[in-house]
Structure 1
Amino acid sequence: MASYQKYKTKQGEKWMFKLIVGIDPGTGKKIMTTRRGFKTKKEAQAAYLNLRQEIESGLHVKQSLTYEDVFKEWWGIHSRTIKPSTIYSKQSKFRKHILPKFGKLKIKDISKGYCQRMINDLSNEIDSVNDIKIQASLVFKYAIKMDYILKNPMEYVTIPKKEESFLAKSEERNYWTKNEIRDFLILAKKHMSKQNFMMYYLLIYTGMRKGELIALTWDDIDLNEQTININKTMFFEKGKEIIQTAKKYASNRKIDIDSQTTKHLFNWRTKQKEALLADGIVSKPPNVLLRADMRPIRLAYPNELLNSFMTVYDLHRITIHGLRHTHASMLFEAGASIKEVQVRLGHKDIQTTMNIYTHVTKTMSKKTAENFLNYMQLE
């Protein structure tokens, strides 16, 4: 039962009531709540009846939940369904950008306007603001699922565009042409170690992701059948190597390799064994690419070396992922179908392959124009 009391204010007499709303599980003590500011005792009694209904239905508890409370509840479930690399990435986003903005707020009080202002502010700080919106929204969706709130305030938030996005600019080409590939490999063979040359050669000639190549073992390669079985990727967390299965079903694939790549791999396997024997290591090398202590190479190493090499030899600048794009472009130029490229690169969504197809090299564009001209010749 509630206890009612009249008290004096500068505006005149008011009514209040006190009510036991529960028992603290930690101390065993009663938890009291007080409601003030009612003009009459009748008004206070009506407010008490509403509060009692909320407590009995559980709604009162839901209304006290903060965003961080719901996040912890959701994360306890969600973190069991994703891979270690994804866990690390998502934790970072919530810790750095989302919980500082939302964490202490009651989830029922977070409005669309607040979400929009939060996204506006973040858009001035980071480029991946759309992903922040997506991640934050997952907690709101869970809250709806658990009947903590009725609507997702993040759902209709608009991602602001930066001023430079409205300026006309030429798109940077993140792939190499056939001649640029040839020039790079000539320089790489001359100035890089055998392992480093092999690393970039395989990235260009197989289209593997960097993590897939670093995780690649000799057991994955069948030189007789001329195939590579791509079934895992390498992820580093706090300096420790973590091998995990390929990130999507489509990423688990077996690809054919040409006779030249097969020959390069055969020669490299022989050279690698000889180098290890010279250092007194007789055990079979597990990975195609290794450090001196037999561990897989660092995840950042291919990027660092490529950036340095392009600077020294004044090459057209691309990223490591650009080598994968290069492989796809060369496949298209060689006449491969979109479906063939999708399967070889392990794209789950064919739209990803289509996006590369729309950015094929000028050589292919010229071939298309010439083919049309030849077809239209009337004489």
Structure 2
Amino acid sequence: MATFKQYQKRDGSNAWQFQAYLGIDPVTGKSVKTTRRNFKTKKEAQLALSRLQVDFEKNGLAKRHSMTFKELYELWFEQHQKDIKATTKQRIKIYFDNHILKDFGKLLIDKVTPLFCQKQLNTWANKYLSYKKMKIYVSMVFKYGILIDVLSDNPMERTITPKRKLEAVKNVSDNYYTKDELKTFFDCLSHLKDNRAYAFFRVLAFGGLRKGEAMALLWEDINFKDKTISINKTLAELQSGKPIIQDTKTESSHRTIKLDDRTLSILKEWKNYILQEKLRLGIRDKNFSKSVVFCNSVLNSENQYLYKAYANNVMKKVANHFPDMKIIKVHDFRKTNASLLFESGASIKDVSQRLGHKSTKITTDIYIMVTQTKQDETAANFAKYMAF
């Protein structure tokens, strides 16, 4: 369907235009309509329309050169989200909605150049720590465009990832607790008489679990007879505040580790405390093994998971009551566990498996820190060996 119309130009001369519906774009699923102007005669306009219709039928891509980055992103994300976790989906949308689409969204995909991508990448590197992730996601969108044949080149691939200027290096000892500092931290929790926090952070520090892994633990995951704890899920939280249970971070994060006797004893004490509280309140729990280890309340037999900021709030509480106590990030209890395991003589492979890393390189690069105790021991052993 097309309409042809003669109109008068600004210089007073006459010209022809047409408006036409070409069909449905097989890529976007949207109607393709077009308006073309400035034809000298109606016959010339009709000929141009005929060529346009042939091109559309041949390529099925009349809108190919007018597709915006946002439209391509929406097609890519519709497919990509089928194979990812809800929290990953949420994180990707934040990257695009808050940053990427503001810079790329309205651009026509065939007009985006490597130079534009490079300039944008440099800007992101100066503003965001996650700029490398943003580059990866933009590149994935362009790759999808090549896959569905609406694009022939990925301009983001032809860029150089800039390196951020190194900021003042923070003292590495601020990122974890030494053996004595960890003992002092638990003394603080004892003074606060917070049994749940004491048991929770004991599992983090002596088991090396991630915060979400500890929050997702059920009592059936702890085998007091075999002295093991099974890590097979993690607790996450959507933007709405709704808690969800997901698979562990990676396949290697799915693991079973041994626990020391003292940690098991603390967990038994915490378990008995919950059972006594339920008994005191007249609550019968026929399926206690399926209940959450670190729950919000004993008043409800349903799985009542801790809120996301729980562990951070405990650290703030410790800081308020004990201003001289060094405070580390919650995730740094994994670094504490790794460094103390290493200091006690554990191999990198053993530490890597215990923490659930997929390779020892991750353990070495991120967690294993040569503590002062280990440095002193190494220097002493070397001097003893050299003996001159």
TM-score by length of 1: 0.86
Report if the CA contact (8 A) 1:143-1:149 is conserved. yes
| Aligned equivalent of 1:261 | 263
Structure 1 309/340 Cα, relative in aligned 2: closer, same or farther at 3 Å?
Answer: same
SS of equivalent to 2:235: strand
Q: Look up the equivalent residue of 1:299 and give its one-letter code.
A: K
| Aligned equivalent of 1:278 | 280
* Distance in 2 separating the partners of 1:296 and 1:171: 35
| Aligned equivalent of 1:187 | 188
| Aligned equivalent of 1:305 | 314
Report if the CA contact (8 A) 2:222-2:229 is conserved. yes
Matched ranges for 1:164-203 at <5 A: 165-166=165-166, 168-172=168-172, 173-203=174-204
* Distance in 1 separating the partners of 2:9 and 2:78: 48
Per-residue deviation, 1:15: 8.1
Corresponding position: 1:92 with 2:102? no
| Aligned equivalent of 1:342 | 352
Q: Look up the equivalent residue of 2:210 and give its one-letter code.
A: R
Count of aligned pairs:
371
* Distance in 1 separating the partners of 2:380 and 2:6: 92
| Aligned equivalent of 2:373 | 363
Report if the CA contact (8 A) 2:335-2:368 is conserved. no
Per-residue deviation, 1:196: 1.0
Q: Residues 276-306 of structure 1, C-alpha deviation per residue, up to 9 Å, x if partnerless?
A: 2223322127111011254111121101211
Structure 1 156/367 Cα, relative in aligned 2: closer, same or farther at 3 Å?
Answer: farther
Report if the CA contact (8 A) 2:204-2:333 is conserved. yes
* Distance in 2 separating the partners of 1:192 and 1:151: 62
* Distance in 2 separating the partners of 1:2 and 1:89: 47
Q: Look up the equivalent residue of 2:316 and give its one-letter code.
A: N
SS of equivalent to 1:229: strand
Per-residue deviation, 1:316: 2.0
Report if the CA contact (8 A) 1:332-1:357 is conserved. no
Per-residue deviation, 1:170: 4.2
Q: Which runs of 4+ in 1 moved over 6 A?
A: 1-9, 12-17, 44-48
SS of equivalent to 1:33: strand
Matched ranges for 1:208-219 at <5 A: 208-219=209-220
Per-residue deviation, 1:178: 0.7
Matched ranges for 1:51-66 at <5 A: 52-53=54-55, 56-66=58-68
* Distance in 1 separating the partners of 2:31 and 2:307: 55
Report if the CA contact (8 A) 2:18-2:36 is conserved. yes
Corresponding position: 1:353 with 2:363? yes
SS of equivalent to 2:237: strand
Pick which of 232-241 and 203-212 moved more: 232-241
SS of equivalent to 1:104: coil
Aligned match for 1:108, one of 104, 107, 110: 110
Gaps of 5+ in 2: none
Corresponding position: 1:80 with 2:85? no
Structure 1 24/207 Cα, relative in aligned 2: closer, same or farther at 3 Å?
Answer: closer
Q: Look up the equivalent residue of 2:235 and give its one-letter code.
A: M
SS of equivalent to 1:228: strand
Instruction: Tell me the C-alpha RMSD between the 2 structures.
Output: 3.3
Structure 1 247/324 Cα, relative in aligned 2: closer, same or farther at 3 Å?
Answer: same
| Aligned equivalent of 1:375 | 385
Report if the CA contact (8 A) 2:68-2:105 is conserved. yes
Report if the CA contact (8 A) 1:215-1:243 is conserved. yes
* Distance in 2 separating the partners of 1:181 and 1:279: 35
Per-residue deviation, 1:85: 1.2
| Aligned equivalent of 1:327 | 337
Q: Look up the equivalent residue of 1:191 and give its one-letter code.
A: L
Report if the CA contact (8 A) 2:351-2:363 is conserved. yes
| Aligned equivalent of 1:236 | 237
Q: Look up the equivalent residue of 1:197 and give its one-letter code.
A: Y
| Aligned equivalent of 1:287 | 292
Structure 1 308/61 Cα, relative in aligned 2: closer, same or farther at 3 Å?
Answer: same
Structure 1 92/205 Cα, relative in aligned 2: closer, same or farther at 3 Å?
Answer: same
* Distance in 2 separating the partners of 1:192 and 1:365: 36
Gaps of 5+ in 1: none
Structure 1 203/49 Cα, relative in aligned 2: closer, same or farther at 3 Å?
Answer: same
| Aligned equivalent of 2:146 | 144
| Aligned equivalent of 1:206 | 207
TM-score by length of 2: 0.84
Question: Identity rate of aligned residues, in percent?
Answer: 33
